[in-house]
Structure 1
Amino acid sequence: MAAVAAVGLGRALPLRRRLPTGVRAFGAAALAAGLAFDVAAMATMRRHRANILPHRPATALVTSGPFALTRNPIYLGNTLALAGAGILSSNPWLPVGAALAARAVADLAIVPEERHMAARFGEDWVAYERRVPRWLGVSR
């Protein structure tokens, strides 16, 4: 929804300004990193036979691969990809949408998922939660 809204706002209220090549390269790197997090997380979950659908119960506690860096590599990947696409395309609405979507995902998806994981995996989840940050570099 954030991407669709940002693209629509980019057309209705264009704020485009050609960004310097170095800034656009940063956007391309963020987009690539986001996609890499998404693909690596999905492949890791598949190897562990873990359910990937957020509305279904967890079937495994995955702590390896990108899950060793962040508890939410798919959400992080989506956020990075959206922000990177905005920088690359000079559409400032996309990074704004990425930030708003990240906040909404934290409140509406991550917090309930963490409660479920704690109930399902107990002390293993607690140890993982202490060791690995929700996003990147932000541990409790």
Structure 2
Amino acid sequence: MTVSETSRPNRLPWPPMLLTLAALASIGLGVVAPLTVPRAQAVVLIGYAIAGLGLAVDLWAILTMRRARTNILPHRAADRLVTWGPFRFSRNPIYLANAWLLIGIGTAFGNGWFIVFALLSAVAVDRLAIRREERHLAIKFGNDWIEYSSKTPRWLIR
């Protein structure tokens, strides 16, 4: 365990960087090597619904963190352990919502690369951010973190 793990989980804000990279790669590959998703009206509507759900959960989680007066930046130290709102269902609702947003965009606009990169970026966020954040939270909040993490899944299901 390093000193930086006790003061902050990461040096770089990996999650927004990976989200941006995933979106840009999806757009670029969609132009040069399309990976199409069916464009039936029902599929498009489902895509919009998934993207909308992602945006709604994202906003809910951000507002919950703001109300708790805690840091929202993934490369800065946590001020408080937030366990209510969307954090009752997932320890990482923002990252989950980001994946839903990418999947929804890909489904709505017929670009399968968004779906591929949503899954790849979720794995990368798990490895580069979430695991480090969890170590940081365990150090900072001790038994409160242990109790919370034992009851609440990292993503949505165990």
Normalization by structure 2: what TM-score?
0.85
Q: Provide the residue aligned with 1:130 in structure 2.
A: 150
Q: Could you tell me how far apart the structure 2 residues matched to 1:128 and 1:17 are?
A: 38
- Superimposed CA distance per residue, residues 23-79 of structure 1 (whole angstroms, 9 cap, x where no aligned partner): 222211110111011100000000000100111110000000000010001100100
Q: Which has the higher contact order (CA 8 A, sep 6+)?
A: 2
Q: Could you tell me how far apart the structure 1 residues matched to 2:65 and 2:37 are?
A: 39
1:97 aligns with 2:117: yes
Q: Could you tell me how far apart the structure 1 residues matched to 2:152 and 2:42 are?
A: 31
Q: Could you tell me how far apart the structure 1 residues matched to 2:87 and 2:146 are?
A: 14
Could you tell me how far 1:15 is from its partner in structure 2?
A: 2.8
Q: Provide the residue aligned with 2:132 in structure 1.
A: 112
Q: How does 1:1-140 map to 2 (within 5 A)?
A: 1-16=21-36, 18-138=38-158
Secondary structure, aligned partner of 1:29: helix
Q: Could you tell me how far apart the structure 1 residues matched to 2:91 and 2:136 are?
A: 14
Question: Cα RMSD over matched residues?
Answer: 0.9
Q: Could you tell me how far apart the structure 2 residues matched to 1:70 and 1:17 are?
A: 28
Unaligned runs of 5+ in 1: none
Worse overlay, 121-130 or 8-17 = 8-17
Q: Match of 1:103, as an amino acid?
A: V
Q: Could you tell me how far apart the structure 1 residues matched to 2:132 and 2:37 are?
A: 39
Secondary structure, aligned partner of 1:86: helix
Q: Match of 1:91, as an amino acid?
A: N
Normalization by structure 1: what TM-score?
0.95
Distance 1:17 1:64, change over 3 A: closer
Q: Match of 2:140, as an amino acid?
A: R
Secondary structure, aligned partner of 1:108: helix
